[in-house]
A and B are shown apart, each in its own frame.
Chain A
Amino acid sequence: MNDVERLRREFPFLEGENPLAYLDNGASTQKPRAVIERMRNFAGHEYANVHRGIHELSEQATAVYEAARERARSFFNAATAESIVFTRGTTEAVNLVAFAWGGQNVKSGDTILLTEMEHHSNMVPWQQLAARTGATIKYVPVLENGEGLDLDASRTLLAERPRIFAFTHISNTMAVENPVKDLCLLARENGVSTLIDAAQSAAHIPVDVEEIGCDFLVCSAHKMCGPTGIGILYGRREILETMPPWQFGGEMVDRVEFGGAKFRPTPARFEAGTPAIIESAGLHAALDFVDSVGLEKIAAHSSALAEYAAEKLRSLPGVRVFGPKSSRAHLVTFTVEGVHAHDLAFFCNDRRVAIRAGHHCAQPLMRKLGAPASARASFHFYNTPAEADQLMDAIAEAIRFFNP
């Protein structure tokens, strides 16, 4: 039995005779038994609210919650656990930075630099910040056919000293891995703060915040084999310490009087209200699981599958594949002439292949590339070449069906 088959047995979803070929990992990943069991056990036997009870159970639950924070710290190689803030997910983490950091640091006339390949969740919060403050948004352009970022343009735009450069590590549509380390260095040299959207990279390639040298990094547990409802904001501690809170209530206060309140230091000040406690236990188990598989191995496996699928797709009539010619990350976005993506996905579903269709939450980019709707297959370590073949057969059949 090879590694992938052994790993597949860890996923209840993949049990049975004819499991669905799940190729929508870019949207969310399946959950291994270790994560499901950990959450079940914690909820059943170890659960209490955190950071408030004197009783033993609350103390233990608090220890579990804080252990998850420490695990996230070690997973991303952050210097201190105070750098790890739990959020609801990537989207909330970007909103947190846009509100708390942005409100304090972005003024009228400033520039916010993004790229054309951002997911809506790393675009709309900044557009709203710009609207509130009178700042301007600029975008690093994407090269033809989504082959990568225009790095020359990024140099020029960073030299104009925007306040922050917020950009994706791996594009959820173009399968491009951006040179985050170089871009962060360039940003630092120009005095520009950086935020990395690691939603697509966090459980697919090794992510080391110290090595990357970013100021902020955000991701979601549910795309990392973990539960929904919890995500991570990494922020350099000295920056988080200067940021005001953005939501207010319990957990985040130091002392409250009728006349006002004082707030706790980071990370508590950014975690108002009862957090996702059960999910934190699941996240911890997910990070252990992903680490035990090995990120180098995951990267090689899913990127090889995406390359294989891209190659096969190109051989079909009327298929256009987006993204880089080589070094493709774990996904492939494509269109078929004369067959709409929505129809492709429906057809594939009938052949038990789950793919994504639509604009992939990157509407402006897809419009620019002349493909308002496209299909996307995204792979993970539990996918197999046989599943990629199943996709190819379904697409080839769809082309014959819709374009006879």
Chain B
Amino acid sequence: MNTDELYQEILLQHSRRPRNHGPLENPTHRADGHNALCGDELSVELRIVDDKLEAVRFQASACAICTASGSLMTGAVTGLKSEEAGALAGDFRKLATTGEVAPAIESLTALRALGAVHRFPQRVKCATLAWETFSAAIREGSVSPS
């Protein structure tokens, strides 16, 4: 069944209890993303110190795949340099659209479970929204200190 192929247990766990979900104190970057097709909404907040992703949190009103992807994304990029995280976002995009596993994500088992979406074209955006929003936050989401 498609359901079992898409909703692997590890993803259901992350969607029920997403990690790093909620607002971030003193973010340096933030961005909002949405999926026009289904109305999913997601925001990402980052704190970058000396080019390092010190903290990454997200908030979503979204489907299980989108929420799980947000949870896994925050875990995967926290602690990386922004350039490393950008490369990982590219690898993830390839995974979600083609199923291809780049060397950098070979060991990230839970993240790899999201690769199943490439077989369901309508769900690819669900998996990529968190990463796209994360990339937008780094690229153009600089928050001026209040």
For the complex, give the distance between the alpha carbons of A341 and B40 in Å: 10
A206: interface (CB < 8 Å): no
B12: interface (CB < 8 Å): yes
A347: interface (CB < 8 Å): yes
Task: Please tell me if the beta carbons of B41 and A342 are within 8 angstroms of each other in the complex.
Answer: no
A residues within 8 A CB of B66? Answer: 342
A residues within 8 A CB of B14? Answer: none
Residue of A nearest to B61 (CB): A372
Residue of B nearest to A397 (CB): B3
Task: Please tell me if the beta carbons of A358 and B38 are within 8 angstroms of each other in the complex.
Answer: yes
B residues within 8 A CB of A401? Answer: 3, 7
**Count the A residues whose beta carbon is within 8 Å of the partner chain — how many?**
18
Task: Please tell me if the beta carbons of B123 and A346 are within 8 angstroms of each other in the complex.
Answer: yes
Tier of interface size on chain B = 20 to 34
For the complex, give the distance between the alpha carbons of A341 and B12 in Å: 15
Which DSSP category, helix, strand, loop or mixed, fits chain A's interface?
helix
A107: interface (CB < 8 Å): no
B residues within 8 A CB of A349? Answer: 2
Partner of B6, one of A339, A346, A359, A363: A346
Partner of B3, one of A342, A350, A359: A350
For the complex, give the distance between the alpha carbons of A346 and B15 in Å: 16
For the complex, give the distance between the alpha carbons of A366 and B126 in Å: 20
Q: Contacts A358-B37, A366-B39, A373-B40; is A340 near B1 (CB within 8 Å)? A: no
Residue of A nearest to B120 (CB): A346
Partner of A343, one of B37, B39, B41, B63: B63
B62: interface (CB < 8 Å): yes
Residue of B nearest to A398 (CB): B3
For the complex, give the distance between the alpha carbons of A402 and B65 in Å: 12
A298: interface (CB < 8 Å): no
B residues within 8 A CB of A357? Answer: 38
Partner of A359, one of B2, B39, B63: B39
Least distance between A315 CB and chain B CB atoms (Å): 23
- CB interface residues, B 48-100, toward A, < 8 Å: 61-67
What are some 9 contacts across the A-B interface (CB < 8 A)? Answer: A340-B40, A340-B62, A340-B63, A342-B66, A343-B65, A372-B61, A373-B38, A402-B7, A402-B12
Please give 5 more A-B residue pairs, beta carbons under 8 A apart, in addition to A347-B3, A350-B1, A402-B7: A340-B64, A342-B63, A342-B126, A372-B39, A402-B64
